Structure 1
Amino acid sequence: MNTELTLLAWTLVLAIVQILLPAHLRTLETGTTYNAGPRDDPGPPVGVATGRMRRAQQNLFETLPLFAAAILIAHVAGREGALTLYGAWLYLVARVVYVPLYAGGVPYLRSIMWLTSMAGLALVIVAILRSA
């Protein structure tokens, strides 16, 4: 398996972590009895950390399908090269750094990491469309 596909697989690991983080934090807020039940009522208000991790997760899930599709298209089309390699690394590293920045409520730098991940995605797309 090439590096870009491996980085896509690690991005999926990040997605799983980002599913588990808010779920764990919410369980700490509500207790296991509530979490194991049908959750017919909304339960106590969502805490700050849980809310931030939910939003970070949602943010990842907005771009992850695009990143996955771009990596897979590049692979199938034989368009892998320096652009896809750097783009995949930029996307993954920026998304990993984004999580603690969002958790800590760090403004601006968090946005820069989001823009960096989008730049990585753009590099992969440029590689796909270049001389297509």
Structure 2
Amino acid sequence: MTTELTYLSLTLILALVQVFLPAGARTAEFGLRWNAGARDQTRVSTRPLTGRLERAQANLYETLPLFIGAVLIAHSVGADGRLTLWGTALYFWARVAYVPLYAFGVPYVRSLVWVVSLAGLIMVLASLFLLKA
């Protein structure tokens, strides 16, 4: 497996972790009975951490399909190289750093880290157009 596909796999694990973080925060706030119930009524969290974890998860999910597609296309057409290697690494590590920055409410740095992840995604996409004929 290429390094790029390894980073893609790790990003999918991160996405799964980000499913459980807000779910755990909601369970801690509302209790196991609520979690096991039908949840017919949507409860609004009053704890900032729960909302931040939910928004961090939603933020990942905005670019994750693009990242998956870009990595898989680059791999399938043989565009793997320095650009895809650096791009996948930047995207993954920035997304890892983004979670605690968002959870702890760190402004500006969080946004900068998001830009780094976007730059990584753009690098992978750019590799598709820089193929040698």
Where do 5+ consecutive residues of structure 1 fail to align?
none
For 2:33, the aligned partner's letter is: T
**Would the aligned equivalents of 1:70 and 1:124 in 2 still touch at CA under 8 Å?**
yes
Runs of 4+ in 1 over 6 A off after TM superposition: none
State how far apart, in whole Å, the 2-side matches of 1:59 and 1:41 are.
Answer: 25
Normalising by structure 2, report the TM-score: 0.96
User: Cα distance, 1:47 vs. partner?
Assistant: 1.8
1:1-132 residue pairs with structure 2 within 5 A? 1-43=1-43, 45-131=45-131
For 1:12, the aligned partner's letter is: L
Normalising by structure 1, report the TM-score: 0.97
Q: CA RMSD in A?
A: 1.1
Q: 1:65 to 1:81 in 2, by over 3 A?
A: same
Range that drifts further, 28-37 or 38-47: 38-47
Q: Summarize deviations over 1:32-70 as a string: whole Å, max 9, x none.
A: 101110111223534210100000000000000000000
Where do 5+ consecutive residues of structure 2 fail to align?
none
Aligned length: 132
Percent of aligned pairs with the same residue? 55
